[in-house]
Structure 1
Amino acid sequence: MHKILLLTVSLFLISGCNDNPTQQKQPPTLHVDTLTLQYKNTRLSSELPGRISAIKEAEVRPQVSGIITERLFKEGKEVKQGDVLYQIDPATYQANVNSAEATLNRTLADQNVAKKTLNRVAELAKKKLSSQQDFDDAQAAYEQATAEVAVSQSALDYSNILLSYTQVTAPISGRIGISQVSEGALVTAEQSNYLTTIQQINDVYVDMSQSSLSLLKLKREFPRNKDHEQERKIPVDIKMEDGTGYPVQGYLEASDISVDESTGSMTLRAIVSNPNNELLPGIFVRATIYSPSEKDYIVIPQSTVVRSQTGEPFVYIANDKNIVEKRAISLGNEMENNWIVLDGLKEGEHVIINNLQKIKEGAPVVIDNATPPVDGSSDDQSAASE
């Protein structure tokens, strides 16, 4: 009887446990959408900030001192090399020229007398009517007179040079800027303040800064022409400050010969034609440097990329068994709202694109929708660097 009672109580307890409403249940499987990866044919590019500078720029300064008597140019217009820009009062310098000319005439007369004397002494010496000492003295006098002529001629040349400097001329052809002085101003020789500036802007430079590593990769994309041993021209597109594109394409002209130790960057210089003088020195632009050809790349939306605590990028993918895998990736250039993936993913894999905060590695998922691949195959679409 006692055994029967114990069996009944055990069965009751077991039945009660099965009916317990607090029994734990397995959480529902998470539903996600995925992106099926495919290679996209695209042309990489690198967008850099740049500043416009003139091909040639000259600061005009006076080379003699004096009062400005006239300004002979119109500000903002084109001038040619050698055009007279300013006239400095030439009176003092003209007087110096006149004095140097008089001195030269005197020394020429002295030279003429010394030459005649030498000729007479030479004739007397032939007839034994003059001593060798007289001949030597006459020859020395003539040579000294000739040297005085040379000195006087140099002084005259120098005075003429100073007189010519009273006309301040354009050292280069180009567009002239605003004058910093007016008529009546006193200027001094080789003063630090310039009178005006002249710039050649029919073609302009675009100076940019890029990391030395990125520049090395770019140069490797453009191998030398084996037939002519010349580097291929690297095209550069310009975007104005307001975001509009500049209609003329430029080309990479040169790069600096050293790397900035503090930033690890180098200065790049492109040259672009400026027929309408739209690109003015000093303005900022965005310069896009393109790779030579299109290649196949894996492209994923930026929203699918998750960063670890150390900043390393990774994505979640759903494998063939619909199990979540965490995949570390290496990112390349940025292309609008997408990333170029250099390593870590391959064609045909399924990248999870939503519920990224809820999923965990190793958890099963239900794929509701396989999103078409990222559209990046357009011919006019390019990938820009960070």
Structure 2
Amino acid sequence: MSSHSTVVAIAALACVVALAGCEPRPSDRSSDSADVVRPEVGVVTLRSQAVVMTAELPGRVVASQTAEVRPQVSGIVQQRLFEEGSEVAEGASLYQIDPAPYKAAYDSAVAALQKAEATVPSAQAKAERYQGLVKQSAVSKQDFDDAVAALAHAKAEVATAKASVETARINLDYTTIKAPIGGRTDRSSLTPGALVTAGQTGLLTTIRTLDPIFVDVIQSSTNLLNLRQAIDSGRLKVSGSHVAVKLKLENGTIYPLAGKLGFSEANVSTSTGTVTLRAVFPNPQRLLLPGMYVRAIVEEGVAPDSFLVPQRAVTRNTKGEAIAMFLDQDGKAEERVLSVIRSVGNNWLIGAGVRDGDRVIVEGTQHVRPGQTATGAEVVVDDKTGEVLGRLPPQRRAARPGAEP
């Protein structure tokens, strides 16, 4: 071989060796690959806590007392004694019916009573006198019996007259129509000069007691059964003897005063499968009016040592099971099946499938698969909206050396 050929061969061999030295090592290649597929996700660390359980139920406001005012005697209405739509106290005068005929009837009954009472002393004296004479056989036994009967008749006439006086007095009192309960009046259905009759079907006005006021809410029998079973099993603890209730008004605001649950009906509606619950609320400002539609937030109890998982982190698999993605201590993603009990705001109350300190992925789950390694960044989820407060920084994806952009 010539010297020139030898030099060329040596140069080629050197180039091959140099190129071999430029190949990346397997460890370097795997490191670059790990950097490319390691996304950053938002996580929330779960902690055991006592969760206040509430149920938001539809309801209607109902007056605590309602009285329909009707006349109890007939006559001409002389005047209306209240202002329509005003608050009246129990026993307040509402209407005045012409009392003249009833005053005359009362006076006549009093006179009849006086007349009946005047006959009693004479009959009493005669009976006592005949009682002594009959022992001496000075009068017949029949005459004595007649005297005793006359005395009894006189006393009965007095009793009848007293009853007539009382009836006349009651009718005279009824000429002033009074409020049977305290509350707010409706409009008046008549004006002075109108003729009213006892027992008429038409109302004069209606009075409703607005403080306190009732709210009738509807709950399904299924939810009520689940609630009682949770309390019996100890999963739910009730504090105190009264169940607290809050109200969400028609415009979405919260009523400032809390109420309490009064009672629940002892039967389930056969048509709707629901049970009616009644809550009692103070209403000093008369903000709540009968007929209003509201949402009652009923505090059912407290679930101790419970976990809340944001709803945005939970999905469903093909079997319909609730699943969520978690990051373990090594940053590896794992998928778990969760036992969901119920919703609490924008969270799910979990019965099984989580532990204290678990990190659940709430943002970026579309970038990771089970078994894949990811970087977890702690985020805060707004309980009211369910949205993540703030955004995660852009994902860092390192390009391979020499790769095209």
Q: After TM superposition, is the score higher than 0.5?
A: yes
Superposition pairs of residues 177-196 of structure 1, within 5 angstroms = 177-196=186-205
Q: Greater CA radius of gyration, 1 or 2?
A: 2
Deviates more, 1:89-98 or 1:68-77: 89-98
- Any conservation in 2 of the 1:299–1:376 contact (CA below 8 Å)? no
1:370 aligns with 2:376: yes
Q: Which residue number corresponds to residue 330 of structure 1?
A: 340
Instruction: Name the aligned partner's letter for residue 213 of structure 1.
Output: L
Aligned residues: 339
Cα distance between partner residues in 2 of 1:84 and 1:178: 15
Residues 79 and 294 of structure 1: CA distance in aligned 2, closer, same or farther (over 3 Å):
same
Of 198, 213, 219, 2:207 maps to 198
1:108 aligns with 2:133: no
Distance across 2 between alignment mates of 1:142 and 1:223: 72
Aligned-partner Cα distance in 1 for 2:261–2:142: 76
1:236/1:250 contact within 8 Å kept: yes
Q: Does 1:282 align with 2:294?
A: no
Q: Structure 2 matches for 1:18-37, cutoff 5 A?
A: 33=41, 35=43
Query: Counterpart of 1:80?
Result: 89
In the alignment, does 2:326 pair up with 1:314?
no
Structure 1 residues 105 and 39: alpha-carbon distance in aligned structure 2, compared to 1, 3 A threshold: same
Distance change >3 Å, CA 308–CA 64, structure 1 → 2: farther
Change (3 A) 1:238 1:217: farther
Partner Cα separation in structure 2 for residue 100 and residue 369 of structure 1: 100
Provide the C-alpha distance between the structure 2 equivalents of 1:223 and 1:314, rounded to a whole number of angstroms: 28
Question: Structure 1 residues 318, 151: closer, same or farther in 2, change over 3 A?
Answer: closer
- The match for 1:299 among 294, 298, 308 is 308
Distance in 2 between the 1:199 and 1:190 partners? Answer: 21
Q: Give deviations 1:297-330, integer Å, cap 9, x for gaps.
A: 33333344445688x4422536879687572532
Question: Aligned equivalents of 1:152 and 1:204: distance in 2?
Answer: 46
CA contact (8 A) 1:317 1:327 kept: no
Structure 2 runs not aligned, ≥5 long: 1-36, 385-405
Identify the match of residue 242 of structure 1 among 234, 242, 251: 251
**1:173 corresponds to which of 161, 166, 182:** 182
How many Å apart are 1:135 and its aligned residue?
Answer: 1.0
Asked if 1:64 is matched to 2:70, the reply is: no
Structure 2 CA distance for aligned equivalents of residues 257 and 188 of structure 1? 41
Contact 1:67–1:89 at 8 Å: present in 2 too?
Answer: yes
8 Å Cα contact 1:67/1:88 also seen in 2 = yes
Partner of 2:225: 213
RMSD: 3.6
- What does the per-residue CA deviation read over 1:59-115, in whole Å, with 9 as the maximum and x for residues that have no partner? 222222222221111122222222211112223323332333333333333334423
Residue 72 of structure 2 aligns to a residue in which SS?
coil
Superposition TM-score, scaled by structure 2 size: 0.70
Alpha-carbon distance in structure 2 between the residues aligned to 1:223 and 1:331 = 18
Q: Aligned partner of 1:314: which letter?
A: A
Q: Scaled by the length of structure 1, what TM-score is found?
A: 0.73
